């Protein structure tokens, strides 16, 4: 076969592989239609992908009864895997995902208050235990500012300047947890198919990402998306990041404690959870604290609508809880922050669909992006 035909076949195989990953359970007929392939070409590509142990086929459930039976594209039982490390403010997990993005179950290990030097060797050991010919890439989701493979700063974990390259010798992607959750929502969650989506996660402070056509906009060095450090707060208030007046300080447990006339809580995430639970059971002080915090969250969202004009906004973490417990305050905040001409046609503000698994699902996507390349299908 000449070189050009070979290149076309490799591109067709890669497109089919990406299609099977993007749309788990898609049938061969649907994939062929989506990719503009004849059924003969699709069968030829599938036989190649099966031989390369990348995809397999399973009987597809019959719909209707008309048309010839078709098969669903599924991961090959010996196919590639990626490892996903999800480090949250209090726990870490290591798991794997196959083509299609489904995460294997994983046990959570607590690390609250421990330094990186103590935690990361255990993570490295857990990754080493997964090593084998099927494991092709690793991705890490972490709650902090990421630059390349380095965690610049995670104020919440009190980790700073941590090089995560030491975790593995495999191809590695490292991402901020809120950004990865946004990628997951845009590909597989509440913002699926939106051309431009804004995702915000509130935990301690607020992080997020703008997603355009399924891809995160992370800036020149990958450190963008620090929406919590926009000056939507009180300019007299100093943020741990070094700036003044950050939005972070208005939307989480620290703000709730201030509204209740209390001192800054040691664990703002836990304080916020307790306040939201108390608000749900009708405690008037907790309701007032949640409303004030939801309004501040809404005002910032309104300002961001002016700046980036998303088709949908998704809220994760405490943001989703504030939306459920204080929706009118949050929406009123959005309206007050948005320019008047926008108010008749505001985009929907929705709770994230993937919950706390969002960062890991997004990390699996970034690791799988390192695997689904022409190199992989060159067989
Ligand atoms: Zn700040």
Helix, strand, or coil (residue 20): helix
Distance 158 CA to ligand 1 centre (A): 15
Distance 109 CA to ligand 1 centre (A): 29
Distance 45 CA to ligand 1 centre (A): 51
Distance 242 CA to ligand 1 centre (A): 6
Distance 205 CA to ligand 1 centre (A): 9
Report the pLDDT value the prediction gives residue 14, as an integer from 0 to 100: 95
206 and 172 co-located in one domain: no
202 and 275 co-located in one domain: yes
| Stretches in the chain below the pLDDT threshold 50 | none
Examine the fold and report which residue of 47, 75, 103 is the final residue of a domain before the chain moves on. Answer: 75
Distance 310 CA to ligand 1 centre (A): 23
Distance 378 CA to ligand 1 centre (A): 46
Distance 111 CA to ligand 1 centre (A): 24
Distance 328 CA to ligand 1 centre (A): 27
CATH code, domain with 66: 1.10.10.10
Supply angle C-alpha 266, 271, 276, rounded to 5: 170
Distance 37 CA to ligand 1 centre (A): 51
Report the pLDDT value the prediction gives residue 101, as an integer from 0 to 100: 94
- Domain assignment of residue 12, yes or no: yes
Tens digit of each residue's pLDDT (9 = 90 or more) over 341-371? 999 999 999 999 999 999 999 999 999 999 9
Q: Is residue 66 left, alpha or beta, with left meaning phi > 0 and alpha meaning psi from -120 to 50?
A: beta
289 and 339 co-located in one domain: yes
Distance 358 CA to ligand 1 centre (A): 24
The tokens of 373 are what?
């390349």
Examine the fold and report which residue of 13, 48, 75 is the final residue of a domain before the chain moves on. Answer: 75
Q: In what order do the strands lie in the sheet with 150-154?
A: 145-147, 150-154, 159-163
- Domain assignment of residue 260, yes or no: yes
Distance 245 CA to ligand 1 centre (A): 7
CATH code, domain with 173: 3.30.420.40
Distance 246 CA to ligand 1 centre (A): 5
Tens digit of each residue's pLDDT (9 = 90 or more) over 266-282? 889 999 999 999 999 99
The secondary structure element, H or E, covering residue 277 is: helix 268-280
CA distance 296 to 248: 10
Number of domains in the chain: 3
- Domain assignment of residue 185, yes or no: no
Distance 175 CA to ligand 1 centre (A): 19
220 and 336 co-located in one domain: yes
Distance 71 CA to ligand 1 centre (A): 52
User: What is the extent of the structural domain holding 54?
Assistant: 3-75
- Domain assignment of residue 9, yes or no: yes
14 and 120 co-located in one domain: no
What is the DSSP annotation of 307-375? HH--SEEEEEEHHHHHHHHSHHHHHHHHHHHS-GGGGGGPPPEEE-SSGGGHHHHHHHHHHHHHHSSHH
For residue 141, the cross-strand partners are: 86, 175
Report the pLDDT value the prediction gives residue 193, as an integer from 0 to 100: 84
Distance 317 CA to ligand 1 centre (A): 19
169 and 218 co-located in one domain: no
- Domain assignment of residue 157, yes or no: yes
Distance 81 CA to ligand 1 centre (A): 37
Distance 206 CA to ligand 1 centre (A): 10
User: Cα separations (Å) of 175 from 21, 149, 182, 240, 300?
Assistant: 20, 8, 11, 21, 23
Examine the fold and report which residue of 53, 75, 97 is the final residue of a domain before the chain moves on. Answer: 75
Distance 258 CA to ligand 1 centre (A): 17
Beta strand 81-87 with 109-110 is unpaired
160 and 205 co-located in one domain: no
User: Cα separations (Å) of 14 from 9, 18, 50, 90?
Assistant: 9, 6, 13, 38
Q: Is residue 103 left, alpha or beta, with left meaning phi > 0 and alpha meaning psi from -120 to 50?
A: beta
Distance 243 CA to ligand 1 centre (A): 5
With the CA atoms of 31, 33, 35 and 37 taken in that order, what torsion angle do they form, in degrees rounded to the nearest 10?
110
Nearest to 175 by CA among 139, 127, 212: 139
């Amino acid at each position: 076969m000449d070189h050009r035909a070979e290149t076309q076949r490799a591109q067709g195989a890669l497109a089919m592989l990406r299609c099977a990953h993007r749309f788990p359970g898609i049938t061969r007929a649907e994939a062929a239609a989506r990719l503009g392939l004849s059924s003969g070409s699709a069968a030829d590509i599938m036989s190649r992908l099966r031989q390369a142990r990348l995809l397999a086929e399973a009987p597809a459930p019959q719909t209707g009864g008309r048309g010839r039976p078709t098969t669903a594209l599924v991961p090959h039982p010996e196919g590639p895997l990626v490892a996903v490390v999800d480090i949250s403010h209090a726990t870490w997990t290591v798991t794997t995902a196959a083509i299609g993005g489904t995460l294997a179950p994983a046990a959570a290990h607590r690390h609250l208050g421990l330094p990186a030097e103590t935690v990361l060797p255990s993570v490295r050991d857990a990754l080493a235990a997964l090593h084998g010919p099927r494991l092709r890439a690793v991705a890490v989701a972490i709650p902090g500012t990421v630059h390349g493979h380095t965690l610049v700063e995670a104020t919440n974990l009190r980790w700073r300047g941590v090089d995560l390259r030491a975790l593995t010798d495999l191809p590695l992607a490292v991402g901020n947890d809120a950004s990865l959750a946004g990628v997951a929502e845009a590909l597989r969650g509440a913002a699926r198919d939106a051309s431009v989506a804004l995702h915000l996660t509130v935990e301690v402070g607020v992080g997020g990402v703008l997603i355009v056509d399924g891809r995160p906009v992370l800036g020149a060095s990958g450190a963008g998306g620090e929406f919590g450090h926009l000056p939507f707060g009180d300019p007299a208030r100093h943020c741990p990041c070094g700036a003044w007046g950050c939005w972070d300080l208005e939307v989480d447990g620290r703000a709730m404690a201030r509204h209740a006339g209390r001192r800054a809580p040691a664990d703002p995430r836990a304080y916020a959870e307790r306040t939201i639970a108390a608000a749900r059971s009708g405690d008037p002080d907790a309701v007032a604290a949640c409303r004030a915090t939801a309004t501040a969250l809404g005002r910032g969202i309104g300002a961001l609508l002016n700046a980036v004009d998303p088709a949908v906004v998704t809220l994760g973490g405490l943001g989703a809880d504030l939306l459920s417990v204080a929706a009118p305050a949050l929406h009123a905040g959005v309206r007050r922050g948005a320019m008047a001409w926008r108010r008749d046609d505001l985009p929907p503000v929705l709770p994230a669909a993937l919950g706390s698994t969002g960062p890991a699902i997004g990390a699996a996507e970034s690791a799988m992006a390192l695997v689904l390349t022409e190199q992989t299908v060159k067989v």
